[in-house]
Structure 1
Amino acid sequence: MLLVRPARAALRSTTSRPLRYIPVRGFATSFSVLEEAKRTPLYDYHLSQGAKMVPFAGWSMPLSYGDVGQITAHNHVRSSAGLFDVSHMLQHSFRGPGAQTFLESLCPSSLSSLTPWSSTLSVLLNETGGIVDDTIISKQASDSEFYVVTNAGRATEDRAYITGKLSEWTGEQVDWETMDGWGLVALQGPTAAEVLQALVSEGDLADLKFGKSGFYKIGRDNVKCHVARGGYTGEDGFEISIPPEYTVQLTKEITANEKVMLIGLGARDSLRLEAGMCLYGHDLDESISPVEAGLTWVIGKDRRIPDSPNPFPGKSRILDEIASGPKKRRVGFEVSGAPAREGCRVLDSTGQQQIGAITSGIPSPTTGKNIAMGYISSGYHKKGTEVLVEIRKKLREAVVRPMPFVPTKYFK
């Protein structure tokens, strides 16, 4: 039996409205040039805090706030705590006796091995083993309850993908709902736990380890929120899903703490790259497999058995790449002389042969070096391999480096 519940109507604050495109040097490839952009529940609050709003993945999102520069914001997250509005991400609820088996038919992760209130990074796959989207899948109290977050820039594709897969589903009942209008904020940094604990009425966040989640009552009104320990920066932190009517209020309560700074897309990008995190549409796309992307670890051991039940899309290609190695691999680079940006060619040390390309690159505020991420032909992927990167028609020396570039500080 299949039951697909229609999505809840979006709140007025998330409807589409006109927005002028603001070109931003160094981030143009991350922002869509749109005549309209949707607004998160925090749009007016961002404006009240001096945010510079830009279109991103179809949404109007804060790039920065007031005269606070990207490096200052970046360093504040590394030293204290930053709050990010990630309400543009698509939140899903999957429920019913067939929920776990259905999700395993979309991704290669072993969800049956997840204990209640545990999460895993995973990928939705197409039939050729390419990545439709990267996602966080969280099991709740049982195998019949899952909270899933996917990317804003893939919302249209993800809805169509899941709808199509459900239309073909012949297993037990699955109840799928997208949580339109709900807020989602990420509190990240070494003081994040201290800040959030002060607002939690019951429960000790020390019991919530990295990759775990639960429901907590937060703020003066004891609002029940889903809290997951993790994030996109490599720092300790939390992603907090907030009921629509409380999103603004709870955000204000969190940011009332002097240790918390509002953080925009500019610093979010540099933080995630230092942490070796992918950005879909740049470091991942539908042609790239999880093995090529360096995400083989998301493929459960029990899912790698060739004739195991409940196969995932593209399994044949992916198992072949695990056994024989992929033709290319995602790696990190340290670049001399100038920062490498998306699209820059990677050549061998002689400069005669192209062996890869850059997908993301920045001057790293934390390391003081030019770092980048990209794909390189297998055989050149080992750390310490010297290569050349073509930047503005000049060849710059670079070396393959392991990621993350900045050690993670997850609470385990």
Structure 2
Amino acid sequence: MAIFKRFSSSGSAGVLMKTALFDLHVKLGGSMVPYAGYSMPVKYSQQTHIESHNWTRNHAGLFDVSHMLQSTLRGQDATKFLHKITPTDFQNLPAGQGTLSVLLNEEGGIVDDTLVTKIAENEFRIVTNAGCVDQDVAFLKQQIQGFACEWEPVPERSLLALQGPEAKDTLGSIIEEGPESLKDLYFGQTRRYTIGGVATPFQVDVARSGYTGEDGFEISVSNQDAMTLASSILADPSVRAIGLAARDSLRLEAGMCLYGHELDQTITPVEAALTWLVSKTRRDGSLGKFNGFDRIMDQIKNKSAAKARVGFKYLGRGPAARQGCIILAEDGETVVGSVTSGSASPSLGGITIGQAYVAKRYRKAGTKLFVSVRNKKFPIEVARLPFIPNGFYKPT
């Protein structure tokens, strides 16, 4: 499948790193490919990409995302520093709560998307993308100069994502605190739990979040306990190990961005349809002006952004439109945008979907356009994101 080529083309040079679960991936029949400098499973031999995708939507899937960079930020200026490099309000974020945000360069472009959790006042845990490690480290080290705080990667930690409607049942069955303790852990919140039923119980940090659009958890665990944790989770027959291919199609259906596709250093949060990341309490500058403040606020107040991220779906059959394919107006001639991601949607019966940037006037849902793939034009229409309803666990 073409989706495999996209993964295997990433980070193929040099010696590949291995996560703490590498031997387990091989044992389970993982098709290992280079990805962001690591050898990672794109799929497993016991099921196809589509079967893996549908299993996660209907049951629960376990993903190894240990290639992601986990780090900490602490010190008296930690919040002030975050308020310079992100547009999100971390001063008023409750302890134990996490939020998606973006790291911004001086022009307001996105250096990376990130999940930031507030542990305590001026103490945060940060997760950023594996493929952006070098640029993120350089950016953070340069930007932090002059601030009384310290940022450092967390060594010897793995990150596992347990995703799907049955994920809560599986996790609830292996934590000493029991399933009841998960009932008041809502989307975006983080809590420490103890994994029981093993020779030596150990602690994990659990965030109710994920990259699939389903309810689920991202679990930070020491490398020495990662194999035990994964084995305990996979002992539940409702859980299967899932690879990168399904992770990508799941996030695409969920309308989520992939750095290097929907996001890069020239794109602002407003253009990326992520204006909600710019907290309303940050928009008057009273909590400090973030990088690119004037440009981003002009796009919000004066609607000056020239392009917008949108979803699209084919109106008939056709090959998936990959990154770089051009989007044409209804006349079939005028170029109005370009594709960032695309694939068939297993949850929608195989209809081809995608994301793209288009000139702002074409962003309305239902707008008819064409996409050019291999010199052939296929009719599409702009669709609302996400393509399927999310299953995030929130207070009623």
Instruction: Give the C-alpha shift of residue 35 in structure 1.
Output: 3.4
- For 1:393, which of 375, 381, 394 is the aligned residue? 375
Q: Counterpart of 1:4?
A: none
Q: Which residue identity does 1:302 align to in structure 2?
A: T
Aligned to 1:107: 86
Shift of 1:330: 0.3
1:409 corresponding residue in structure 2? 391
1:155 and 2:133 are equivalent in the alignment: yes
Quote the offset at 1:29 in angstroms. Answer: 3.3
Q: TM-score, normalised by structure 2?
A: 0.95
Q: Which amino acid aligns with 1:174?
A: C
List per-residue Cα deviations over 1:334-393 (Å, max 9, x = no partner): 013212221110000001210001100011000021100010000100000000110111
Counterpart in 2 of 1:291?
270
* Pairing partner for 1:61 from 21, 24, 40: 40
Contact preservation (8 Å) 1:90, 1:180: no
In the TM superposition, residue 323 of structure 1 has moved relative to its aligned partner by 1.5
The answer to whether the 8 Å contact 2:281/2:287 transfers is no
CA distance in 1, matches of 2:36, 2:155: 16
Determine if the alignment matches structure 1 residue 320 to structure 2 residue 298. Answer: yes
1:179 matched to 2:154? The reply is yes
- Contact 2:3/2:245 (8 A) holds in 1: no
Given the superposition, is the C-alpha separation of residues 290 and 27 from structure 1 closer, same or farther in structure 2, using an over 3 Å criterion? farther
Counterpart secondary structure, 1:46:
helix
**The residue matched to 1:149 in structure 2 has which SS?**
strand
CA contact (8 A) 1:387 1:399 kept: yes
Question: What's the counterpart of residue 93 of structure 1?
Answer: 72
What do residues 133-189 of structure 1 show as CA deviations (whole Å, max 9, x unaligned)? 00001111x2222111000000011111111112x224xx31322113211000000
Name which of 1, 4, 28 aligns with 2:5.
Answer: 28
CA distance in 1 between partners of 2:248 and 2:302 (Å): 33
Aligned residues: 384
Moved more, 188-197 or 142-151: 142-151
Q: How does 1:204-243 map to 2 (within 5 A)?
A: 204-219=181-196, 220=198, 221-243=200-222
Give 1:67 deviation, angstroms. 3.7
Alignment of 1:6-21 (within 5 A): none
Q: Percent identity?
A: 45
Q: Please name the residue that 1:378 is paired with.
A: 360
Structure 1 match to 2:19? 40
Distance 2:45 2:382 in 1: 37
CA–CA distance in 2 between the matches of 1:316 and 1:27? 41
Letter in 2 for 1:349: E
User: 1:257-315: per-residue Cα shift (whole Å, max 9, x none)?
Assistant: 1111000001001000000011101111001000000000000112111x434211111
The match for 2:337 is 356
Aligned-partner Cα distance in 1 for 2:175–2:76: 32
Structure 2: unaligned runs, 5 residues or longer:
none
Output the CA distance in 2 between the equivalents of 1:373 and 1:249.
38
| Structure-2 residue corresponding to 1:121 | 100
SS of 1:37's equivalent in the other structure is coil
In the alignment, the residues of structure 2 paired with residue 201 and residue 330 of structure 1 have an alpha-carbon distance, to the nearest angstrom, of 43
2:325 aligns to what? Answer: 344
Q: Are 1:196 and 2:171 counterparts?
A: yes
- Counterparts of 1:217 and 1:164 in 2: how far apart (Å)? 37
Q: Any conservation in 2 of the 1:121–1:135 contact (CA below 8 Å)?
A: yes
2:289 aligned partner, one-letter code: P
Q: What is the one-letter code of the residue matched to 1:373? A: Q
The whole-number CA distance in structure 2 between the counterparts of 1:258 and 1:274 is 25
Deviations 1:84-134 (Å, cap 9, x if unpaired)? 000000001112222111112110001112111111110000011100000
Q: Which secondary structure state, in structure 2, belongs to the residue aligned with residue 379 of structure 1?
A: helix
In structure 2, give the amino acid aligned to 1:42. Answer: L
- Following superposition, the deviation at residue 395 of structure 1 comes to 0.7
